[in-house]
Amino acid sequence: STLFSVIKPVLNNTLMNQLIIITEALFTMKGRVTMLGISRWSGKGGSYRTIQRFFHSVIPWPSLQWALVQNHLLDSDDVILFAGDESTVTKSGKMTY
């Protein structure tokens, strides 16, 4: 697919194939999204173990996202500002710092 051809240089063939299988399953699923559900809705090559391997893989997300932005959102006159907040600590209680 065209969307996946943009990120092909970022991912190796194995991760690319797994991503395609998982994405197709996600678009056809209904109900809760779990690894078992993804494996049930995916076709050939989408075993539960394959889904586990994909989610355990190290994926260069910044490179992948930049490839998508460059090819689908970026015009030559645009100014882009990226910001992120990666909070992994839950914020509960009476005082949040």
Task: Measure Cα distances from 7 to 23, 39, 40, 64, 83 in Å.
Answer: 14, 23, 26, 6, 21
Neighbour count for residue 22 (Cβ, 10 Å): 20
Would you place residue 96 in the very low, low, confident or very high pLDDT band (cuts 50, 70, 90)?
A: low
Query: Which tens digits make up the pLDDT trace of 40-69?
Result: 999 888 999 999 999 999 999 899 888 888
Buried b (16+ CB within 10 A) or exposed e, 30-41: eeeeeeebbbeb
Query: Which tens digits make up the pLDDT trace of 18-37?
Result: 999 999 999 999 888 999 99
Six token digits for residue 37: 């559900």
Q: Give the pLDDT of residue 23.
A: 92
Give this prediction's pTM. Answer: 0.70
